[in-house]
Amino acid sequence: MPPKKRITRELILKKAFDMVHEEGIDSLNARALAKKLNCSTMPIFQSFQDMRDLKMEVKRWIDEYYSAFLNRYVQKEDYLFTISFAYINFARMEHHFFGALFVNPLLDSRTVREVIDSPWNRETIKCTAEQFGISIRESEELYRDIRFYAHGIATQLYGGNMTLGEEEIQGLLHHALERFLQ
């Protein structure tokens, strides 16, 4: 009977996920990961085509983590505010994961229209239209404006250019919503 494989695909992914959480996506390379796994790079490349393949799989894990994070905050009756607040808090509390998902060049480029039409954003747009009694088109515009406003705050926190507490973030978002709704 052949020996049991010591370095599994799952173990590699778990260690890579942990590395990104602790050190950021830029720290994830084959040599550093192999060192953390206490092995050569061979098991990594036996399990993944290349580092991009591994990073895309780690990104899927981070996406799942992000979804669970959002679910702790999102309230459908105030969807746009709560999801925007959660997004900013993710940048504040999960610095390296935020960078991997929303700043790192692993992401494919999208147009504003593609962002608005993404299936995961349509529910926010629909709920926002109902909450504020506005048309879907107006809700798309409001979503777009708040999303990019929230991203600006989040990237300032991510870059270390700003420090904000939860109450300050909430105040900024409430103010922006009021202004954009005028």
- pLDDT per residue as tens digits for the range 121-159: 999 999 999 999 999 999 999 999 999 999 999 999 999
pLDDT (average), residues 155-169: 94
The residue among 180, 19, 20 whose CA lies nearest residue 99 is: 20
How many other CB atoms are there within 10 angstroms of residue 7's CB atom? 18
- Binning pLDDT at 50, 70 and 90, where does residue 3 land? low
- Provide the residue ranges of all domains of the chain, joining segments of one domain with +: 9-57, 73-181
What pLDDT, on a 0 to 100 scale, did the predictor assign at position 71? 95
The residue among 153, 155, 151 whose CA lies nearest residue 169 is: 153
What is the CATH T-level fold of the domain 9-57, as seen in this structure? Arc Repressor Mutant, subunit A (1.10.10)
Mean pLDDT of the chain: 93
